[in-house]
A = this chain, B = another copy of it.
Amino acid sequence: MKKKLQILVLLQILACQLGSAQTNAPADDWKPASSNQPGREFPKVNSEGRVKFRIVATNAQSVGVTFRDGSPFTKGEDGAWYGYTRPLDEGFHYYLLKIDGAEVPDPNSLMFFGAQRWGSAVEVPAKDSDFYALKHVPQGQLRELFFESKSSASMRRAFVYTPPGYDQSPDRRYPVLYLQHGWGENEYGWGAQGRTREIMDNLIAETKARPFIIVMIYGMTNETQMGGLRNFDIGPFETVLVRELIPFIDSNFRTLPDQPNRAMAGLSMGGMETKTITLRNLDVFSHIGLFSGGSIAVTNITDMAAFKARNKLVFVSYGSRELGNNRGGDPKANVEALQAAGINSHFYVSPDTAHEWQSWRRSLREFAPLLFKP
């Protein structure tokens, strides 16, 4: 009797443990990530948003990834190391491998520039990924070119998105959005991880957005101390953007080269840059987009009458998981105060995302249709 009880208790405990283990075990529906290098099976992502890695490092003592709170990595029967993350937000996440104290890119992933480096990233499939998918719709182009910046004594790279039909409509002119990346990123970000081309092609195909040109450049001028914020002065960047890039674009592309047809937006640091530069240059930009990069308070506007006369849009967005961390006041309250002051102002919250690219892809999707309305 006592033994039976003991066995029952043991079975109960075992069942609980098994149940618990089964509950905690990751869903076994792993699929190769779309951010993998061609033909690579790992990393894999499952339906919970976990990412599983396979790392060949035969003689390593310790292997992992830079994601927090994942499973410990263990050696598989094939001699490779395996481990997986906690469930991640839908969307795009930077990471590196950790091998015996080295932090290195994963040879299985495509490379993206973030956190001040070309490194790895993984795409966790999002329920709304359709809006940035490559589709059978008329295609725009992403053009890489260099322009001369006398103020910074350099040739500077720009990426220019031209919408579908640009080459076929030689008499048509287009508005322009200047679109900035965040700190630690560069001019590749919006085209690669931001999916700007796909987002715009799809919006234009659905006639949700007017076709316009988008211009993306590196948002700092201190390349030699790459990304150093301590000595960062926005003045030299403002000069490059306003005095050099805009005239270059207006003379090399078929733009509508006036204030009503010129917008600026940016994410994070790029949002702060956008706020500073647009408020200083009301005669240059009419539409403003701040993605996870602050908001504009009524008190930021020195001459409300002038601002109202010239500004056509203030768009502010955040990921839902980062709201509450806002410097510069409550963004929603700031947007509502602008609305009350008669400014065309919009506030968007990306559901279930943080300070990350899924928030910014969605922000572009929401922002673009509001631009350059007749």
> A residues bordering B, Cβ < 8 Å?
37-39, 55-62, 96-97, 99-107, 110-111, 116-119, 134, 136, 139-148, 155, 160, 167-168, 170, 186, 191, 197, 223-227, 252-254
Contact = CB atoms under 8 A, between A and B. Distances in A.
Count copies of this chain in the complex: 2
A212 to B, nearest CB: 17
B37 A100 contact: no
A114 B37 CA distance: 12
Given A118-B110, A226-B38, A142 B143 contact: yes
Contacts of A191: 144
A101 B57 contact: yes
Main secondary structure of the interface of A (DSSP, over half): loop
A107 B99 contact: no
Given A111-B111, A144-B141, A167-B252, A224 B103 contact: no
A151 to B, nearest CB: 15
B253 A167 contact: yes
A146 B147 CA distance: 25
A206 B136 CA distance: 41
B107 A105 contact: yes
Nearest to A111: B111
A60 B101 contact: yes
Contacts of A99: 57, 60, 99-100, 102, 104
B142 A38 contact: no
Nearest to A61: B59
Contacts of A254: 167
Given A136-B148, A143-B142, A55 B102 contact: yes
Contact of A118 (B111, B147, B224): B111
A104 to B, nearest CB: 4
Given A139-B146, A155-B136, A39 B104 contact: no
A287 to B, nearest CB: 25
Given A105-B107, A118-B110, A139-B146, A223 B100 contact: no
Contact of A100 (B60, B141, B227, B253): B60
B39 A226 contact: yes
